[in-house]
């Protein structure tokens, strides 16, 4: 992903398909982070297993991962789904 960002920062045009996959990978990473945070919370509340994760750190991890998950989902929606539907509507209007 850093290589991708380096290329775009240098002004190199990256194919849209690659950009879309980078967004999917990052969104998946954030979803996994939220799921791990939930699992750790469940372990802390429902088992006697020793877990060195503090509640403050767990809360911050959940907040950060959830926030980034929402932001990446919004970016994906507005860039790859909404943009496509707007484009297809304008194509329909041109045909009329």
Closest CA to 39 of 16, 58, 65, 21: 58
- The single-letter DSSP state of residue 11 is T
Contact 25, 34 (CB under 8 A): no
Cα distance between residue 13 and residue 25, in whole Å: 19
Name the phi and psi angles at 76, rounded to 5. -60, -45
Q: Which pLDDT score, from 0 to 100, does residue 96 have?
A: 57
Q: In this predicted model, what pLDDT tens digit does every residue of 2-60 receive, in sequence order? A: 888 888 889 999 999 999 999 999 999 999 999 999 999 999 999 998 888 898 999 99
What is the Cα–Cα distance from 81 to 76, expressed in whole angstroms? 7
User: Which tens digit of pLDDT belongs to each residue from 63-96?
Assistant: 999 999 999 999 999 989 886 666 665 666 665 5
Verdict on whether the full-model pTM lies above 0.85: no
Residue 21 is encoded by which pair of tokens? 């996959």
Q: Is the dihedral of CA 70, 28, 56, 42 positive or negative?
A: positive
Report the pLDDT value the prediction gives residue 8, as an integer from 0 to 100: 86
């Amino acid at each position: 992903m850093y290589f991708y960002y380096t290329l775009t920062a240098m002004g190199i045009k990256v194919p849209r398909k690659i950009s879309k996959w980078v967004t999917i990978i990052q969104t998946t990473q954030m979803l996994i982070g939220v799921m791990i945070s939930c699992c750790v919370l469940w372990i802390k509340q429902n088992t006697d297993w020793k877990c060195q994760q503090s509640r403050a750190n767990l809360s911050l991890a959940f907040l950060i991962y959830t926030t980034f998950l929402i932001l990446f989902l919004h970016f994906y929606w507005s860039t790859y789904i909404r943009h496509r539907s707007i484009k297809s509507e304008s194509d329909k209007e041109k045909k009329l």
